[in-house]
Amino acid sequence: MTIAFTFPGQGSQAVGMGKLLAEGSAEAKAVFAEVDAALSEPLSRLIWDGPLETLTLTENAQPALMTVSIAVFRLLQARGVDLARDVAFVAGHSLGEYSALTAAGALTLTDTAKLLRVRGKAMQAAVPVGEGAMAALLGIDAEGAAKAAAEGAAAAGPGMICQVANDNDPGQVVISGHKLAVEQAGEAAKALGAKRALMLNVSAPFHCALMQPAAAAMLSALASITIARPIVPVYANVTAGPVQDPAEISRLLVAQVTGTVRWRQSIAAMAAAGVTTFYEVGAGKVLSGMVKRIAASAEGKAMLTLDEIDVAAAGIVAARQIT
């Protein structure tokens, strides 16, 4: 069994996530406490008690999801999982890439919390509310979605932007840009054979050229952060390939703000490199659900509860002993 760890992105947040972990273990409790200290506010209280509308704000959801992922990861470590020995690669969806880098030792937990707060605020502020939108195109591949996005931008008029934001799996692609362009692209996608174009309830058009002000903010923020070489390769969103060079990691994190999240290609590439089991570390089951649709020979497993973590850790350690 060759293993990769994946870390979820925005949309997987839920009030109460990670609370039982912190109540049941010192390791998880310490993660929440460190993030609270880094942000100089009780983010943990918001995570556990809500309200959901406030937790879902981009500036809160991003560090919150990372916190839960790292709490789960620290519990795996406490149960004997050794990233360098047991895991071939790590990867994260959008903000999850920061979680992956933290687990791999490239970023400190404190620095990651601060970076994600900057990232969330900058992404929210980049486009006035109501001007941008995102839509999930179902039943169409990335090539068809890109064509629909180009047609939508052209139909909306000069200067309108619509791009592929997330290439999630063979039947789900998310587009992002000016609201009118995204709406027009949805209609174009249906004409090209998409089963459905679903407008998403998001506060800003992420992962498109409209996020350039946020990319500039991250360039500045990352300039003051020390990035270490990760102990295992991290599959980057924008290249769908492994990276370990700190300077390249920084460059790709900036490019990620406006670039496409190439998740389908990332999972396919890791599977081609021998990964047979993808463990989703943190809240939700979105990423593990995508695995079979991308790599039929691989398996996706989610873990958030203490029982799920215990089972996963035991299986990972046992697989190491067999090999």
Cα separation, 188 vs 173, in Å, equals 14
In terms of Cβ atoms closer than 10 Å to its own Cβ (0-12, 13-18, 19+), residue 105 is: middle
Facing residues of 91 across strands? 6, 235
What amino acid positions are annotated as catalytic residues?
Answer: 94, 207
Q: Are 283 and 69 in contact (CB under 8 A)?
A: yes
Q: How far apart are CA 59 and CA 102, in angstroms?
A: 18
Q: Where are the alpha helices (DSSP H) in the chain?
A: 19-24, 26-39, 43-49, 52-56, 58-78, 83-86, 96-103, 109-125, 142-156, 179-191, 212-223, 246-258, 263-272, 286-294, 306-322
Confirm if 28 and 71 have CB atoms less than 8 A apart: yes
Cβ atoms 204, 56 nearer than 8 A: no
Beta-carbon contacts of residue 248 (< 8 Å; ≥ 6 apart): none
Q: Tokens 């992105």 identify what position?
A: 9
Pairing of strands 299-303, 242-243: unpaired
SS3 242: strand
Among the listed residues 202, 206, 129, the one whose alpha carbon sits nearest the alpha carbon of residue 164:
206
Q: Within 13 Å and on the Cβ side, how many CA atoms surround 61?
A: 23
- Specify the DSSP element, H or E, that contains 173: strand 172-178
Q: Which pair of structure tokens corresponds to residue 78?
A: 């406490």
- Kindly report each contact of residues 27-30 with a partner whose C-beta sits within 8 Å and lies 24 or more positions away, as own/partner: 27/71, 27/74, 27/75, 27/77, 27/78, 28/71, 28/72, 28/74, 28/75, 30/74
